Every structure is written in C-alpha cells, then in structure tokens.
Structure 1
Amino acid sequence: MFVRAYLRASTAEQDAARARTALDAFAAERGLRIAARYLENESGAKLHRPELFRLLVDCEPGDVLLVEQVDRLSRLTSSDWTKLRAEIDAKQVRIVALDLPTSWSLATPGDEFTARMLAAVNGMMLDVLAAVARKDYEDRRRRQSEGTARAKVAGLYKGRPENKARNSAIAKMLGDGRTWREVMAATGCSRNLLARIAREQRAAREVAERLQD
C-alpha cells in the first residue's frame, strides 16, 4: 500500500503546497510514509485536472489518496463527481481526508469485513461532503457575482490585478527552454495561465520577425 498525497489550490496565486505540513503530520502519527505528492493549481469544480488523474494512473489497488479536505478533491457537479468516483472505485483507491474522521482507519490495513464496512460508510460520507463542497462553491460564486455587479454599478470594480512579477518569471523560464511541468512546479501557476503567456510570447516573436523582414 502506497500513500499518495494530493494538494490542490484553485488559482495560480494560491499555494498548492499549503497543506503539506498537515498531511505529513497525519501520516507520521500513523507510521505511514507518503510515497508521492501531486500538486496542482486548478479549480476543484473542473473534472479535468492532470495531476489528479496522473495520481490515479500511478495508483495500485489498495493505495491511499490523502487529501486535507474533501473539497480539495471535488467541488464537482453531481455528474462529474459520479465520473470521478467511478474512476477511483475502478482503481480500488482508498480516499482518506483529514476532515473526514470515518476515513482515517482506511489508512491502515484491517480485516476484510471491517474494511468493507468502513469503505461503505466512507463512500456515503464522501458523497455528502462532495455535495456540500459543490453547494459552497456555487454559493460563493453567486455572492461574488452579486458583489461584482454592485461594484460595477457603483463604478468601483477594477478587476483582479495582474501579478506582473510572477508572469515575468514564467516568461523568462519559458524563454530559457524550461518545460511546462518545471515552470508549473516552480511557480505554482495554472496550465491556463502558462498557455496564455506562451501564446503571448509566440505572438511577440512573430511580430518581431515580421518587423525584421
């Protein structure tokens, strides 16, 4: 059995590794070693999360997927959560979340009957917390949308400021020939942001080449 930690942050500005200390402490208290950590900056409301699915590909039956909270794993719609659960169940992966005490015993081997009972209870609780996480996501989006609308009416809305220092560092790393995975690991940026900066670089090179012709 391997323990694989999944750490996620929603935006490029957030630190995906924030929960590492808590996950490491949880594993150490139970005499477990985290075999690998998978970090990504993607919304939990998206099913397409490359690092999460890379983790699942790496898993063998009985491995543990360790997360800080269930919402780090899913803020998905009901249909997308069903798809993700099906993938997890097909791999026979055990989900252990620090905010789900019923899951903690799944991090240690036990007899088959107890394991099946705990897995059934844990599966039900996972579904409940995933639904709560989705509702929380939708409520926050609604409140943000309402706040933005009021700010626009009042002429106070300025949008999110660009992180120029970080974007400049990303552009330099790309210019130095670093791979996307290396850039994402070093800066914590999202794939979408990286793709945008790469496009801007290509466009700038094309303009420069035309000016030289």
Structure 2
Amino acid sequence: MLTARIYMRVSTDQQDLQRQEKLIEDTRTKGFYVAAVYREKISGVTEWEQRPELYRLIGDLQPNDIVVAESIDRLTRLEPKKALELIDAIRAKGAKIQVPEVFDFETISKDLGHSSENFDPGFLMSDLFIAMQNMFFKLAVSIAHDDYRKRKIRQHQGIELAKQQGRYRGRQPNVELHKSIIQHRKNGISITKTAKALNVSESTVQRVWRKFKDNQKY
C-alpha cells in the first residue's frame, strides 16, 4: 500500500477548504494510506519555503510517498521556473505527485484496460507515469501561472474602472472575525492556537492583533 500526503490550499481567509476535503476519502478509496493532511490559506504565488504547511509536508516526505492535491494550482501558481523548483524539491525526497483533476485514477485504469475498482497504485511508480508527469507539469505550471496573471490584470482593470466611477471601496474587513481574534488574544490564547481555532492564517492574527494594540496607544 502506498502512502499519500494530501495538500489543500486556498488563497484567502474568506475562502473555504471544504470542497477539497473529499480528497481524503477519494484517496483512501483508491487504496492509499493517508499519512497526513496539510491545510493552509495562503497565496499560490508564495514560494514554497514561505508556506508553513507545504514546507512541513516536504520535510515529512519519505521515499515513495505520493503528494495529492486537487489541482496543480493548489500546489503552485508561481512562474514556471519557480514552480518546477517546487516539483523538484518533492521529487528529491523520492516522492511523486498525484493530481486527480488531471491524472484521474479511473481514467488511467480504463486506458490501461483495468477496472477502476482494481486500480494498481504501483502504476504511479512506473516509467510511463513519470514520463507523463514530466510532460504534464511543464504545461500545467505554465497554464496555472498564466491564469493567475490574467486574473490579476482583470482585477486591476476592474478596480481602476470602479475608481473612475466612484464605486471602489476596497476590501472590507471582516468585523466579526477581527473581534473574535482580539478576544482570543485578550484571553491569552497564542497566535497559533487562535489561527487554528478561527481557521485563519497566523499572519492574519498577527496583523489584526498588532493593529488593535497600536490603536490602544492613542
């Protein structure tokens, strides 16, 4: 039985990881042992060394582990050269990457003439699969980064138009979330525990708490 480590990511605290949770059961159903699940809320263009959970995942990897993610852009939206450095870091640990969105277990099984219920995870270790991945990753990371770049351009254009029309208000703070963060910290709960309890990033807790303390000085 192969060992899987599942990585889930969304970009902001306002986004929900719930949709990606089905990866856990899907991975187990296909015969993998799920050693750990790594969840974080951080931009996909953040380098992997700066992403606490992805950095921890890579540190935990053992030879022949399989890294599972919903799609390539959950792992990275970095420009291709940097993205391939992340993939190389995973492979350097003797691990491999499985992206069900593209390398679907059932589709691969049918292509090989097998029933999806009897899928042999050993195929993921074959030379054929490695060659398929090499070709796919070079294309996929380029598409993921290009999609990110286009979204940022459209976002910038939308903001500029809204400013010209006097409609732009900027991102509005989540007042209730900020109150909860402040209350947790007032109660002596650590930044790490507050972030986990409220399902936000530690950087968000630090930012809100710092702003609160600065306001208390005046």
| TM-score scaled by length of structure 2 | 0.84
1:211 corresponds to: none
1:2 corresponds to: 3
Q: What is the rounded CA distance, in whole Å, between the counterparts of 1:173 and 1:111 in structure 2?
A: 45
CA deviations on 1:148-204 (whole Å, 9 max, x unpaired) are: 101100101111111011111122222223233322222222233222113124424
Q: What is the rounded CA distance, in whole Å, between the counterparts of 1:74 and 1:19 in structure 2?
A: 16
2:135 corresponds to: 124
Whether contact under 8 Å (2:123, 2:129) holds in the other structure is no
Whether contact under 8 Å (1:59, 1:91) holds in the other structure is yes
Q: What is the rounded CA distance, in whole Å, between the counterparts of 1:76 and 1:49 in structure 2?
A: 13
Whether contact under 8 Å (1:13, 1:188) holds in the other structure is no
Q: What is the rounded CA distance, in whole Å, between the counterparts of 2:164 and 2:99 in structure 1?
A: 42
Q: Which amino acid aligns with 2:21?
A: R
Matched, 1:67 2:72: no
Which one scores higher on RCO, CA 8 angstroms, separation ≥ 6? 1
Whether contact under 8 Å (1:184, 1:190) holds in the other structure is yes
Q: CA deviation at 1:13?
A: 0.7
Q: What is the rounded CA distance, in whole Å, between the counterparts of 1:8 and 1:98 in structure 2?
A: 15
Greater mean alpha carbon deviation, residues 122-131 or residues 68-77: 122-131
Q: CA deviation at 1:32?
A: 2.2
Q: What is the rounded CA distance, in whole Å, between the counterparts of 1:56 and 1:12 in structure 2?
A: 23
2:27 corresponds to: 27
Q: CA deviation at 1:107?
A: 8.3
Gap runs ≥5 in structure 1: 209-213
Task: Specify which of 77, 80, 89 is matched with residue 79 of structure 2.
Answer: 77
Q: Within 5 A, what are the aligned runs for 1:174-213?
A: 174-204=185-215, 207=217
CA deviations on 1:2-34 (whole Å, 9 max, x unpaired) are: 21111101001111343102x023213312232
Q: Residues 118, 195 of structure 1: CA spacing in aligned structure 2 closer, same or farther, 3 A cutoff?
A: same
SS at match of 2:19: coil
What RMSD over aligned residues (CA atoms) do the two structures have, in Å?
2.3
1:57 corresponds to: 59
Whether contact under 8 Å (1:9, 1:43) holds in the other structure is yes
2:39 corresponds to: 39
2:90 corresponds to: 88
Q: Which amino acid aligns with 2:59?
A: V
Q: Which amino acid aligns with 1:77?
A: E
CA deviations on 1:104-159 (whole Å, 9 max, x unpaired) are: 789822496xx122112112212211111111100010001001101100101111
Q: What is the rounded CA distance, in whole Å, between the counterparts of 1:10 and 1:59 in structure 2?
A: 24
| TM-score scaled by length of structure 1 | 0.86
Q: Which amino acid aligns with 2:156?
A: S
Q: What is the rounded CA distance, in whole Å, between the counterparts of 1:177 and 1:95 in structure 2?
A: 40
Whether contact under 8 Å (1:8, 1:72) holds in the other structure is yes
Q: Which amino acid aligns with 2:134?
A: G
> Structure 1 vs Structure 2: percent identity of aligned residues?
29
Q: Residues 119, 156 of structure 1: CA spacing in aligned structure 2 closer, same or farther, 3 A cutoff?
A: same
Aligned residues: 204
Whether contact under 8 Å (1:96, 1:107) holds in the other structure is no
Q: Within 5 A, what are the aligned runs for 1:87-166?
A: 87-101=89-103, 108-110=121-123, 115-166=126-177
Q: CA deviation at 1:102?
A: 6.4
